[in-house]
Amino acid sequence: MIERIAKLIALAENASTVAEAEAAFAKAQALASKYAIDLEVARLQAQPKERQTPVQRIVRIGEKGKRANPNLVMLYTTIGRANDVRCLVAQDSTWVQAHGFPSDLDATAALWSALAVTMTKFADAHVKDKSAAWRQEVTYDWNTGEQKPVSGQGARRSFNEGFNDRIGERLQEARKASIVEADEAQAAPAADGRNLPSSMALVLKDKSAEVEKHMWAEYERRHGKRRPGSWRGNRSSGTRSSSAESSGRAAANRAALSGRQALGA
């Protein structure tokens, strides 16, 4: 039955239309529910030829020199981390080399595209707000070592950092809740009376390790064993605003977190 469900998942992931994908995935979900089999367990236990394997994608962030690029990279890596996607980042923050399973990369891309627009829109509104609290703040400027009024650029950066941090927390909370829910379902007896013990946390740990291994294998194939340096694109500089950061977190609480519309899940 696990193999049968895995074939349906593979069919859904490789379908040529959304309708075909939804039909195949719905059938897989129905069988999985009937036999108390977790979909991720089925996908990972499929025969190698039927399984997805990690792949690499280049994600274009923005043109060189754009101030928004580091914040957008930071948001992509935060979303990717919650979806078992691992990244190498260009030093100029113009692109991300993302590694993961195709379905996880699709989910990350969909959610990032939506949240990047939301973050930018809310940050613009906050910076332009004449009554915003950051306009009355004075903060320490790490570039000059002086106390200075918060700048619009500093308020925007602080807002985006707060937004990103809270989105990361929400995604990890959702991930933990999904693991608990999956483990409780697996602990229930199957239709034939058998228990199917499995820890979703261990399944995801194995998947994450497979992605990590793929990323470094690809990197060593291209660059040898020399590891890349640290990405410093999101390094804070200039003035900061605690009120703008709080506003960013509040905006992230209002943002919708959905990214798997293609399979109707």
Q: pLDDT tens string for the chain (265 positions)?
A: 777 777 777 777 777 777 787 788 778 777 776 666 666 666 666 555 556 789 999 999 999 989 899 999 999 999 999 889 999 999 899 999 999 998 888 888 988 988 999 999 999 999 999 999 999 998 877 777 788 899 899 999 999 999 999 999 998 888 888 777 767 766 655 554 544 445 666 677 788 888 999 999 989 888 887 778 888 776 656 778 899 999 999 999 988 775 443 333 3
**Full-model pTM:** 0.73
- Do 243 and 229 have their domain in common? yes
**33 and 68 assigned to the same domain:** no
Residue 35 sits in the same domain as residue 57: no
Scanning the structure block, which residue is given the tokens 């927390």? 169
User: What's the pLDDT at 38?
Assistant: 65
Task: Tell me whether residue 264 is in a domain.
Answer: no
- For residue 153, the one-letter residue type is Q
For residues 87 and 228, is the Cβ–Cβ distance under 8 A?
Answer: no
Clarify whether residues 104 and 69 are in a common domain: yes
Host H or E run for residue 40: helix 39-45
Give the angle 152-63-69 at the CA atoms, nearest 5°: 45
- Structure token digits, residue 226: 């020399």
In a domain, 39, yes or no: yes
- Per-residue three-class SS string for 57-121: EEEECCCCCCCCHHHHHHHHHHHHHHCCCEEEECCCCCEEEEEECHHHHHHHHHHHHHHHHHHHH
- Residue 44: per-residue pLDDT: 66
- How many domains in the chain? 2
Q: Is residue 103 part of a domain?
A: yes
pLDDT value for 189: 53
Provide the domain limits for residue 165. Answer: 53-259
Check residue 245 and give left, alpha or beta (phi > 0: left; psi -120 to 50: alpha).
alpha
pLDDT at 93: 93
Asked whether the CA dihedral 83, 84, 85, 86 is positive or negative, the reply is: positive
Looking at the fold, whether 138 and 179 belong to one and the same domain comes out as yes
Whether residue 245 sits in one domain with residue 194: yes
Give me the count of residues in the chain.
265
203 and 243 assigned to the same domain: yes
In a domain, 88, yes or no: yes
